[in-house]
Amino acid sequence: MFNENKLNDLLVLAERAVDRAVSLLDTFSACDLHLTFKGERDYASELDFKIEQELRGFLLDAEPEIGFLGEEYGGDSLGNGAAWVLDPIDGTVNFVRGIPLFGVSLALLHNGKALVSVIDFPALGQRYTATCKSFTKLDGQRIQVSSVKKIEESIVGFGDFSVGDKYEEKNVIRIHSMARFAQKALRCRMLGSAALQMCWVAAGYLDMALTFSNNIWDVQGGVLVVRQAGGEVFDSDGADHAVCSKYTFASNADLKSKCLQEINESNMFEAAERAG
């Protein structure tokens, strides 16, 4: 069903869909958007919903046999068959506040495995593309993960702190991990977009990215982008990342074992259990 030619056709379709999202982003002023609150300190803008509606209709018209799952409206199960997975604006808070670290993340999954990915950061002028049979490209040029081998020379990206239900317990892990890496890494960064920090691992701007969650729409596009750039994406036990993983960690191959060692030695999970 998904030979190389078909994957290339679906990549073109995905890029056309993301083009539509970028056009919508260009027509809206973030400061004038209506916000819908999704929980404590969490919201979506009206543009999140508009982009998701637009791309759902466009993709289902083009490929009606492929399902669709979006962050705002939900959709089809990812257990069997093929489905598009969309985060209409990854980094909504950044977007609404005028911070240029936000993007549109679209991935095609088949039986839980990412086959196609297009992630665009319009304010940065960066588009990352990949298929499971091709190299990752940034604006059409092949990229690869960094060659950094030491924690002391690495720049580490961290996912946002948790908000909403049980945020205090969840944030114990984040605080402990940041404290651990801050003592050893060259620098630590928090970008406010899981997709962006994974793409920056693929491009070698970051050497590791630690996201202590696994929201499918946030990370699946980035999973493929990192892997096809020669990187590793894994869970806290070192197993390859999957849709059922608890966490989403990315690095180059040389840093994977060192990353896991730091995580295990920090006792962050034991601290979280005590907090809970």
At 238-248, the pLDDT tens digits run 999 999 999 99
Contacts of 235 (CB under 8 A, 6+ apart): 241, 242, 245, 246, 247, 248, 249
Tokens of 241: 């990342």
At 79-99, the pLDDT tens digits run 678 999 999 999 989 998 899
Question: Mean pLDDT across the chain, nearest whole number?
Answer: 89
Task: Give the per-residue pLDDT at 271.
Answer: 53
**Residue 262, amino acid:** E
Task: Give the per-residue pLDDT at 78.
Answer: 67
How many angstroms from the chain centroid is the CA of residue 209?
10
Tokens of 176: 């402990």
DSSP state of 98: T
Nearest 5°: the CA angle 154, 158, 160 is 165
Provide the pLDDT confidence category of residue 106 given band limits of 50, 70 and 90: very high
Closest CA to 58 of 25, 22, 87, 18: 18
Domains, in order of start, for the chain: 4-142 (3.30.540.10), 151-275 (3.40.190.80)
Task: Give the per-residue pLDDT at 161.
Answer: 74
Task: Give the per-residue pLDDT at 27.
Answer: 83
Indicate if the pLDDT at residue 272 is higher than 70: no
Indicate if the pLDDT at residue 270 is higher than 60: no
Q: Where are the beta strands (DSSP E) in the chain?
A: 35-39, 42-45, 67-70, 74-75, 82-90, 103-110, 113-121, 126-131, 137-138, 141-142, 155-158, 187-190, 208-211, 232-234, 248-251
Contacts of 126 (CB under 8 A, 6+ apart): 120, 138, 139, 199
Nearest 5°: the CA angle 111, 115, 118 is 130
The CA-atom distances, in angstroms, between 132 and each of 97, 109, 135, 201, 246 are 35, 10, 8, 17, 23
Provide the pLDDT confidence category of residue 273 given band limits of 50, 70 and 90: very low
At 46-62, the pLDDT tens digits run 888 899 999 999 999 99
Neighbours of 79 (CB within 10 A): 9
Q: How many residues belong to the chain?
A: 276
At 135-159, the pLDDT tens digits run 999 999 999 999 999 999 999 999 8
Tokens of 3: 């030979």
Task: Give the per-residue pLDDT at 168.
Answer: 67
Task: Give the per-residue pLDDT at 32.
Answer: 67
**Residue 11, amino acid:** L
At 176-199, the pLDDT tens digits run 888 889 999 999 999 999 999 999
